[in-house]
Structure 1
Amino acid sequence: MITGILLIPLLGAITAWLIPSDRSRPWVLPVVGTLHLALTIEAALTPTSPSVGMWLHLDAIGKLVLLSVSLLFFASGLYAVEYLAYRRERPNRLLCAMLPVCLSAMTLVAFAHHLGLLWVAIETTTLTMTPLLYFNRNARSIEATWKYMLICSVGIALALLGLLFLAYSTVVARIEPTLLLEPLVANARLLSPAWLKAAFVFLLVGYGTKMGLAPLHTWKPDAYGEAPGLVGGLLAGGLVTCSFVGLLRAYQVCVAANGTTFHRDALVLMGLLSMATAAVFMARQADFKRMLAYSSVEHVGILAVALGLGKGALAGALLHLVNNSLTKGVLFLAAANIHRSYNSKRCEQVRGALRRLPWSGGLFLAGFFAVTGSPPFGLFVSEFSIISSAMTQGGEWIGGLILFFLAAIFLGMARTVLPVVMGESSRIEHTGYRDRFLTVVPPLILMGVVLMLGIWIPEPLSRLITEGAALLGGNVP
């Protein structure tokens, strides 16, 4: 099963590259997405055995990540068919080939239990997304591409240095050098505390750069603003999720060492800083796609704070990881439709989208309420779980700051979204684009899942969240 889930996207990439027709090629993406999602659901519902050598294993955390990434890719692949049919002036061979390769790399992230292999998979996601940011081939997109590549490459290099420090901590402890997760967790109490702390600092900065934790987020506004909608959704919902997995694996080792709260304090500090940064830059945002970048900065901050709180907040963090991934897919795909119809991302030029694009405008509005943690959507449940855990674990000031930042972000985001969706129709010249079946159904599917997770969490998913939190040291029932 492991081989099939990893190879199907690669075979799809080869097929897409060999198909000569730009019109037929995009259909490879939904086919790959459907097969991958079917195998992912089967893998999530059945026990899986680790590979020889323990390099690959799909534990509860990996299953959650794989489910969210696979569902997001399925929706994005379905959306790509109509999107690329509308953008016939652009060759699509590179995009249709690189997206499945990126899916394979994200799948490897979910499976990898060797931290070096995990690093390679995360770096592969960076490289495969780089040419896709330049799809529109203009000056702003090339600037965004270079920022993304350079800043994220520096970050991932720092993460590699952190892994070297982690491996050296085993040498200092006079145990067999390894980067396999299970031996590291089992021998964590023997590891050198100084080298373990240094390793976590570099891993936090490195993977935090890829996630977009403030002040390491500077690539995000340009990349999210200039990327095609389906690429932006995979960046915000897929690659951010994969980078967070890198932190989760390092966190498992630090928790097992049980010698210091340094890693938790660092996560809470950077998480709150990210939320504060998002609250400041969300106000009076003139570009609604760049606004989504700061929303991403906010939510990676929430994830970092929840991880830093530990204990009961860990289940909320894992649920939030899934909710955030799917909600970002809704927002980016709906925003892409609005951008295409108005031929502008500027908020002063885009008004009354709900009248011009009833489905896309409605999804963008619903996505706004979902991403700001409003009931009855899934993010409300996960944020409530994190905040209540902070309050009951003696972190009342942390819970209070989270609530304050959430309120400020809601108000700032509302000042951008509500006029775009519900304002008086702007009088500038628009394109002839209107809502189409395959550009509306994918975000609608994701929105349905986010709504469901706010009302009812299926028992298999709830069990995975509980088991994943236990792996991270959470005191969940």
Structure 2
Amino acid sequence: MMWALVLLPLVGSALTWLVPDNRRRAWVLPVVSLAHLAITMVLIAEAPAASPGGWILLDALGKLVLAGNSILFTVCSLYAVGYLAYRLKRPNRVLCASLLVCLSATSLVAISHHLGLLWIALEATTLTMAPLIYFNHNARSIEATWKYLLICSVGIAIALLGLFFLAYSTIVAKQEVTLLLPTLIGNAAALHPGWRHAAFIFLLVGFGSKMGLAPLHTWKPDAYGEAPGLVGALLAGGLVNCALLALLRVYQIAVASTEGALFQQVLLVMGLVSMAFAAVFMARQSDFKRMLAYSSVEHVGIITVALGLGKGALFAGLLHMINNSLTKGVLFLACGNIHRAYNSKSTQFVRGAIRRTPWSGALFMAAFLAITGSPPFAPFVSEFLIVSSAFGQGNHVTGALFLLFLALIFIGMASTVLPVVLGEVPKDLERTRYRDAFPTVFPPLILMGIVLVLGVWIPEPLRVLLHDAAALLGGEA
């Protein structure tokens, strides 16, 4: 059944290519994604044994990423039906096919226990996202696409060098030459220190650029700003989690070696730097979709800080990975609706969205409060646990900086969001044909409901899964 996660979306992608009608083609997406979600839930409940050779295995970390991505993709596929109904004049064959290939690749990332196979799957996500970012076919979107391809491809190439160094460290240490994760973790302390250290540096830079850690984030503002809201949700909520999972696999090896403490310190610094970058560039943003790119930089920084703290913060960091993914889905889908209603992303023209698009404006406002760590939403819980862990470990500088950056980001983001949602609608602004409707409002509303529920209650199966995943990283029980 694990291979079904990879093969089913590929079959669906081929089917979308054969369907001639733009409107009917979009319905393939929710059908395939709902089937994928059903398989995901079955596998999470009772994961099968590893494949022969151990290349494919679904552990607790993979389950978290797989579940988060499958839920997000299902909601986005439901949204796509309504979204593409407004874009019938633009062919959507490439978009629908690429979306399903991307779902296949992200699923392969989640179940890969061979670092070479994981790298291939991660590179596939990079390539399949390029035509999605270019969907609007204008000068700005092609610039964003090339920047995304160039920076992410360079990053993933650096990660490949890191894998070569890791494999070579096994040769120098006269160990079994392999990139299988369990073997590398078991032999981590015996690997050649010099080559192992070089491998960790290259892998951190490579996967960090794919995640968008500062200062490796420069592709994000253009890609998030020019991609459709549907694609932005998958970039910020799905692709980031895949790159994070790749980094977590490296983290597992580092913790099992003699360099775990150094690796955590580097992650802690990079996480705080990312939050600092977001705090600076979030202020006075005139493009509210680019603003969400810097919000993504902030939240990958928050998760990285949790990894750097280790111990009890690992549970909180993994919880925040899920919370960020779902909340970003609401933000991008809602801002996509607002963008179409105003035919602009500029805060100069987009004002009073709560009046022109009441549901989307309200969702955008609620998601802003959630993503900035306001109670009773889920990100508040995970951020509170992270900062509590920092102070509990006696790391007062990290805790203080964490709170400072959160406050600055809240102020900067509010200065953009509040006028967009609550300001006065410009009187001379052209009316567009978009109105809030069930197909484009209900999907983000589902995600917002989940974010609210997770803020007041974490279901026991999810809590157990988070604890199991944190234990794989050396976290506290």
Q: Which TM-score bucket, shorter chain as reference?
A: over 0.9
* Counterpart-to-counterpart distance in 2, 1:382 and 1:173: 40
2: CA distance, partners of 1:183 / 1:11: 33
Per the alignment, residue 17 of structure 1 pairs with 17
| Structure 2 unaligned spans of 5+ | none
What's 1:310 paired with? 310
Instruction: Give the partner amino acid of 1:474.
Output: G
Residues of 1 paired with 2:185 and 2:260: CA distance? 15
Give the structure 1 partner of residue 187 of structure 2.
Answer: 187
Quote how far apart the aligned CAs of 1:260 are: 4.8
Residue of structure 2 equivalent to 1:279 = 279
Q: Tell me the CA shift for residue 440 of structure 1.
A: 0.5
Give the TM-score taking structure 1 as reference length: 0.99
For residues 475 and 167 of structure 1, the distance between their equivalents in structure 2, rounded to whole angstroms, comes to 30
- In structure 1, the partner of 2:5 is 5
Distance 2:174 2:445 in 1: 55
For residue 330 of structure 1, what is the aligned residue in structure 2? 330
SS at match of 2:27: helix
Distance in 2 of aligned mates of 1:259 and 1:267: 12
**Matches of 1:224 and 1:30 in 2, distance apart?**
23
Which residue of structure 1 aligns with residue 266 of structure 2? Answer: 266
CA drift of 1:159 comes to: 0.4
Counterpart amino acid of 1:125? T
Q: Deviations over 1:322-345 (max 9, x none)?
A: 111111110000000000000000
The correspondence of residues 243-392 of structure 1 with structure 2, limited to 5 A, is 243-392=243-392
What is aligned with 2:239? 239
- Residues in 1 aligned to 2:164 and 2:269: alpha-carbon distance in whole angstroms: 25
1:472: which partner in 2?
A: 473
Note if contact 1:197-1:263 (Cα within 8 Å) is conserved in structure 2.
no
Give the counterpart letter for 2:470 in structure 1. A
Distance, in Å, in 2 between the alignment partners of 1:298 and 1:324 is: 10
Q: 1:430 — aligned with what? A: 431
Offset at residue 37 of structure 1 (A): 0.8
5+ residue gaps, structure 1, are: none
Corresponding residue of 1:395: 395
Q: CA deviation at 1:394?
A: 2.0
1:55-204 matches, cutoff 5 A: 55-204=55-204
Matches within 5 A, 1:23-62: 23-62=23-62
Matches within 5 A, 1:409-420: 409-420=409-420
CA distance in 2, matches of 1:260, 1:235: 29
Task: Calculate the TM-score normalised by the size of structure 2.
Answer: 0.99
Whole-angstrom CA distance in 2 between matches of 1:193 and 1:400: 34
Q: Give the C-alpha shift of residue 47 in structure 1.
A: 3.4
| CA distances 1:128-158 after superposition (whole Å, capped 9, x unpaired) | 0001111101100010000000010000000
Q: How many residues align?
A: 476
**How far 1:30 moved relative to its partner?**
0.6
For 2:301 and 2:350, the matched residues in 1 are separated by 29
Distance 1:354 1:291 in 2: 19
- Indicate the residue corresponding to 1:229 in structure 2: 229
Provide the rounded CA distance (Å) in 2 between the counterparts of 1:337 and 1:315: 34
Q: Secondary structure at the match of 2:234?
A: helix
Could you say if the C-alpha distance between residues 135 and 259 of structure 1 is closer, same or farther in structure 2, counting changes exceeding 3 Å?
closer
> Does the CA-based 8 Å contact 1:45-1:460 persist in structure 2?
no
- Per-residue CA distance 1:48-105 (angstroms, 9 max, x = gap): 2111111010100000000100000001100111111101111000001010000000
State the distance in 2 between where 1:193 and 1:330 align: 44
- The farther-off stretch of 328-337 and 170-179 is 170-179
Amino acid at match of 2:341: S
CA deviations on 1:243-278 (whole Å, 9 max, x unpaired) are 001100000000011345221111111111100000
Rounded to whole Å, the distance in 2 between the matches of 1:397 and 1:195 is: 32
Measured in 2, the distance between the counterparts of 1:363 and 1:108 equals 32
Alignment deviations for residues 4-45 of structure 1 (CA, whole Å, 9 cap, x no partner): 222111111010001111111000001111111111111111
Between the aligned residues of both structures, percent identity stands at: 66
The answer to whether residue 210 in structure 2 is matched with residue 210 in structure 1 is: yes
Q: Distance in 1 between matches of 2:76 and 2:260?
A: 42
Q: CA 1:206–1:5 in structure 2 vs 1: closer, same or farther (change >3 Å)?
A: same
1:407 has 2:403 as partner: no
